[in-house]
Amino acid sequence: MKDILIMGIESSCDETSISIVKNGREVLSNVINSQIKIHEEYGGVVPEIASRCHTEVINGIMKEALKQAKVTLDDIDAIAVTQGPGLVGALLVGVSYAKGLSFACGKPLVAVNHIEGHIAGNYLTYKELEPPFLCLIISGGHTHLVNVKSYNEFEVLGKTRDDAVGEAFDKVARVVGLGYPGGPKVDKLAKEGEPNIKLPITHFDNLDFSFSGIKTAVINLNHKDPNINKADLCASFEIAVTEMLTSNVRKAVKEHSSDKVVLAGGVSRNCFIRDAFDRLSEELNIKVFYPEPILCTDNAAMIAAAGYYNFINGERADLTLNAVPNLKIGE
């Protein structure tokens, strides 16, 4: 059986990435250009700057991805690109570039949902992983609890009603003076503190999440007492957020009789959250998976992996493909 090589293109936010993946499971190259240093001075991603940076580097990244994979464009079977969700200007750079390559090289074009890409990142780390399983996607822009029924069938069981969990991390980091990007910095400082500050934990009858209450509580506490112990505040924030995440996953495992839980997205790199899910694994006698760190944050390998399963499922896009900044999972 012939190997299938997919070129993945990712530009939904502030990483420009192009990857070559074989058969949806083996990464031949995964070149990532991060704009973190550029956006740090602004305290967050500036959409216009992100788009311009994507435009400046994307062609060079494509050439480097081919070089590292030791293949040519002739060897590529299809081009998979993030259609959404994400920043519209940033998405358009990747979509436009993918359409140009597709037309120039006569290669099939495959659209990929960024959230589904995060799920597929686990297939690259765990060659044995197959659906069905439950997946918790936790990132700067998304918080979803998804029943992954097959490689191409997704049922959203719960999602955030306000802030994404990564967005809450970034805002807490900004308030306590840690800067951007917030998640890793909060996680690092939390290791020096004690979770001795009571923060509100929001639960619903269903499997939805809410992080605005805890974010506002942290902001108010810091405002009332600027000398409050920041490490303790970060540790308390992390433990409250983790309780909300594990509580919903625990309920979902029991409701769906699932024995596999997959984590995905940038926040799944968080050490405290990983430790909590390791304990949950023992408590419920289930298997818990999370990608290697480089595959947690935005990257094109996960897009190529998801694109592979879309491609073999017969899905194709044409040159009218457009960016969809609010694209929902399963669409």
* 177-206 per-position pLDDT tens digit: 988 778 889 999 999 999 999 999 999 999
Higher pLDDT, 56 or 331: 56
Question: In terms of domains, do 11 and 99 share one?
Answer: yes
Distances (CA, A) of 44 to 66, 182, 277, 286: 31, 9, 29, 37
For the cut 80, the answer to whether the pLDDT of residue 7 exceeds it is: yes
Say how far apart CA 275 and CA 265 lie, in whole Å: 16
What is the percent of the chain where pLDDT is above 70? Answer: 100
pLDDT at 179: 81
pLDDT score for 37:
83
- CA dist., res. 256 & res. 19, Å (int): 34
Q: Residue 180: inside a domain, yes or no? A: yes
CATH number, domain of 269, equals 3.30.420.40
Q: The dihedral of CA 140, 145, 150, 154: what is its sign?
A: negative
**32 near 17, Cβ under 8 Å?**
yes
Contact between residue 329 and residue 115 where contact means Cβ atoms under 8 Å apart: yes
| Both structure tokens of 229 | 């112990």
Average pLDDT of the residues in 300-312: 98
83: phi then psi, degrees, rounded to nearest 5: -90, -25
pLDDT band at 123 (very low <50, low <70, confident <90, very high): very high
Q: Would 324 be classed as within a structural domain?
A: no
Q: Which residues of 52-61 are buried (b: 16+ CB within 10 A; e: fewer)?
A: bbbbebbeeb
Instruction: Give domain status of residue 138, yes or no.
Output: yes
Q: Assign 127 a pLDDT band (cuts: 50, 70, 90).
A: very high
* Distance separating alpha carbons of residues 169 and 177, to the nearest angstrom: 12
Strands (E), the chain: 5-10, 15-22, 26-34, 78-84, 109-113, 133-138, 143-150, 153-159, 260-264, 287-289
Are 69 and 42 in the same domain?
Answer: yes
**pLDDT tops 90 at residue 263:** yes
Residue 318 pLDDT: 96
In a domain, 325, yes or no: no
Min mean pLDDT across 41-55, 223-237, 241-255 is at: 41-55
Contacting residues for 83 by C-beta, under 8 A, at least 6 apart? 91, 95, 111, 112, 113, 114, 317, 321, 322, 323, 324, 327
Tens of pLDDT, residue by residue over 76-102, are 999 999 999 999 999 999 999 999 999
Round the average pLDDT of the chain to a whole number and report it: 95
Are residues 226 and 262 located together in one domain of the fold?
A: yes
Instruction: Report how many domains make up the chain.
Output: 2
Determine contact, residues 101/8, Cβ cutoff 8 Å. Answer: no
Give pLDDT tens digits for 216-233.
999 999 999 999 999 999
pLDDT computed for residue 330 by the predictor:
75
Question: Both 93 and 169 in a single domain?
Answer: no
Query: Average pLDDT of 298-303?
Result: 97
pLDDT, tens only, 13-51: 999 999 999 999 999 999 999 888 888 877 788 889 999
* Domain shared by 140 and 269, yes or no: yes
> Where does residue 176 rank: exposed (0-12), middle (13-18), buried (19+ CB within 10 A)?
buried
Q: What is the pLDDT of residue 140?
A: 85
